[in-house]
């Protein structure tokens, strides 16, 4: 083998190794949800016209480079600003001892976000599965995706996502809460909004 042939073979192997390393890094990389710059809110309407905004304070999530996205919500972290009501929701509505988490899964066109100019945004419809109390529902969210920096992007609701208590299997729990509070009614429609910021690992 001539010195020139050896050198060419050596350089070729270096290039192959660099490509393989880059591919491995890309396949392992993902985007992680940043809770400090994210929120999940839901609205309850009681006595026909009294609305109150609640939230979950603990949640986590990620988006893999193939677009597979997962959001895990700790139902015990519900925050209504009234401790006794928080506890009643944990025990009677969510039954967190049996169903501690709600899990949302979807697949998004990640390349669209990666190609966006910093500061730009695009409207998008997101189809997702919601696993809640052992029941799986398909939900559709109208969302706005914005590119914050080279390493972050945000997905936020364009309009409230209207969840059905009937579909979620929580009508019985709502009725228990209504009876305890002495209310005439609590709406079975649950407007939900979100802002989720993901950062590249």
Global pTM?
0.83
Tell me: the pLDDT tens digits for 166-186?
999 999 999 999 999 999 999
Q: What is the mean pLDDT of residues 2-22?
A: 44
What percent of the chain has pLDDT above 90? 73
Q: What is the pLDDT of residue 2?
A: 58
The pLDDT-based confidence of 74 (bands split at 50, 70, 90) is very high
Q: What is the mean pLDDT of residues 175-201?
A: 95
Q: Where are the domains of the chain?
A: 30-200
Residue 25 pLDDT more than 70?
no
When mean pLDDT is compared across 23-27, 33-37, 86-90, 114-118, the lowest value belongs to: 23-27
Q: What is the mean pLDDT of residues 148-177?
A: 95
The CATH number, out of the four listed (3.50.50.60, 3.30.1330.10, 3.30.70.260, 2.40.128.110), of the domain defined by the range 30-200 = 2.40.128.110
Residue with token string 């910093």:
118
**Cα separation of 153 and 150, whole Å?**
8
> Rounded to the nearest 5 degrees, what angle is found at the Cα of 126, between the Cα atoms of 125 and 129?
150
**Cα separation of 44 and 187, whole Å?**
7
């Amino acid at each position: 083998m001539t010195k020139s042939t050896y050198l060419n073979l050596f350089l070729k192997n270096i290039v192959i190794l660099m490509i393989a390393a880059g591919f491995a890094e890309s396949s392992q990389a993902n985007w992680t949800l940043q809770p400090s710059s994210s929120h999940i809110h839901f609205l309850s309407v009681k006595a026909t016209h009294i609305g109150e905004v609640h939230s979950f304070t603990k949640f986590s999530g990620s988006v893999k480079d193939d677009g597979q996205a997962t959001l895990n919500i700790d139902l015990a972290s519900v925050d209504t600003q009234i401790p006794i009501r928080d506890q009643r929701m944990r025990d009677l509505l969510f039954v967190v001892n049996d169903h501690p988490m709600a899990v949302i899964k979807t697949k998004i066109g990640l390349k669209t976000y990666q190609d966006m100019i910093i500061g730009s945004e695009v409207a998008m419809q997101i189809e997702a599965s919601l696993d809640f109390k052992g029941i799986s529902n398909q939900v559709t969210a109208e969302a706005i995706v914005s590119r914050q920096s080279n390493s972050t992007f945000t997905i936020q609701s364009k309009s409230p996502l209207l969840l059905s208590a009937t579909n979620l299997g929580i009508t019985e729990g709502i009725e228990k809460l209504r009876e305890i509070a002495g209310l005439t009614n609590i709406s079975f429609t649950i407007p939900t909004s979100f802002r989720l910021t993901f950062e590249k690992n």
